[in-house]
Amino acid sequence: MTEHAALLDVAREAVAKATEIVRSRPTFSVSAKGDRDLVTDVDTAVEDALREFLAAETPEIGILGEERGRSGDGGGRWWALDPIDGTANFARGIPLCGISLALVDGEHSTVAAIALPYLGVTYTAARGEGAFANGKRVGASTATELSDAMIAVGDFAIGQLAEEKNRARLTLLSDLGARAQKIRMLGTAAIDLAWVADGKLDAALILSNNPWDTMAGVLLVREAGGAVVDRDGSEHTVGSAATIAVGAGLRKEIVDALDRAYGVVR
């Protein structure tokens, strides 16, 4: 077994453990952790359990989690964990949420697992091995016309400079909304990216890049034959400002729309 295959087994087991925790907690507490930003005690329970599991299974690899921050020295390798991506959905009983776990090596992810606990699907990928949903290979959209495209757009910005950031988002929504088949705002980057990999969405525009939100989905999309770029069209890395995932046939049209929204002239 290759190292990536072994680490993928670890990731798959980790998100299965997380799914059990999420589905076994019918009641939970909700608290605010920032401007219109929520955390539940299930988020922290999942992260604590997976930190313990990953530290035991892969002590040589560091961990960055959304709720507890960074721990361990992985020498450039670390797990990026979002214990519940889509907490606002989860807190309201909306079943669109996921557990996202990626192994980041340098600037890119090499192993990924995203479990959707209420939809019964786990997406997995290892670099060079393809992307899978419950063990079945998936592929990104082959659409070439924006009028055929269903596009997910990430949440509006909150906190500092939100008004300025959202001005460009509103321009982008107006542009794409007039030309795409449908626009969707699902409230979870993990599902946005997994569904681009699975061909359910033709593009996902996440105008930020928290590694715990995005790095698993980025690998899924690439292994499914899609493209993932930064807002300016350059190749996506862990340090990118945005995460733009798209079936390869729509890459230029989506980047052009982003340029218009942000007033970029090339």
pLDDT tens profile 248-257: 999 999 999 9
Which carries the bigger pLDDT value, residue 28 or residue 52? 52
27-31, 34-38, 103-107, 194-198: the lowest-pLDDT one: 34-38
pLDDT, tens digit, 9 for 90 and up, residues 124-164:
999 999 999 999 999 999 999 999 999 999 988 777 777 88
84 is in an annotated binding site: yes
Range with the lowest mean pLDDT among 26-30, 166-170, 192-196?
26-30
Residue 213 is labelled as binding a ligand = yes
In the predicted structure, residue 33 carries a pLDDT above the cut 90: no
- R_g over Cα of the chain: 18
pLDDT given at position 145: 96
* pLDDT value at 222 more than 90: yes
Q: What's this model's pTM, rounded to 2 decimal places?
A: 0.94
Q: How far apart are CA 211 and CA 218, in angstroms?
A: 10
| pLDDT at site 157 | 78
User: What's the rounded Cα separation, in Å, for the pair 254 and 263?
Assistant: 14
pLDDT band at residue 35 using 50, 70 and 90 as cut-offs: low
Q: Name which residue leads in pLDDT, 168 or 234.
A: 234
Q: What is the pLDDT, as a whole number, of residue 223?
A: 98
Cα three-residue angle 117-121-125, rounded to 5 degrees? 115
Sheet of 182-184, strands arranged across: 182-184, 150-153, 203-206, 243-246, 227-229
For residue 167, what are the contacts with CB-CB under 8 A and spacing of at least 6?
Answer: none
Whether 20 has a binding-site annotation, put simply, is: no
> What is the per-residue pLDDT across 185-205, written as a single tens digit (0 to 9) for each?
999 999 999 999 999 999 999
Mean pLDDT of 176-186: 96
Task: Calculate the alpha carbon distances from 235 to 11, 28, 101, 228, 261 in Å.
Answer: 25, 40, 21, 7, 19
Q: Structural domains in the chain? A: 3-137 (3.30.540.10), 146-264 (3.40.190.80)
User: Which residues touch 131 (CB under 8 Å, ≥6 apart)?
Assistant: 123, 124, 125, 137, 138, 139, 197, 198, 219, 220, 221, 223, 224
Choice between 165 and 96, residue whose per-residue pLDDT is larger? 96
Binning pLDDT at 50, 70 and 90, where does residue 5 land? Answer: confident
State pLDDT tens for residues 55-87: 999 999 999 998 887 887 767 899 999 999 999
Query: pLDDT category, 37, cuts 50, 70, 90?
Result: low
Closest by Cα among 56, 97, 77 to 186: 97
* 37 annotated among ligand-binding-site residues: no
230 is in an annotated binding site: no
The answer to whether residue 36 scores a pLDDT higher than 60 is no
Q: 243: pLDDT confidence band, cut at 50, 70 and 90?
A: very high
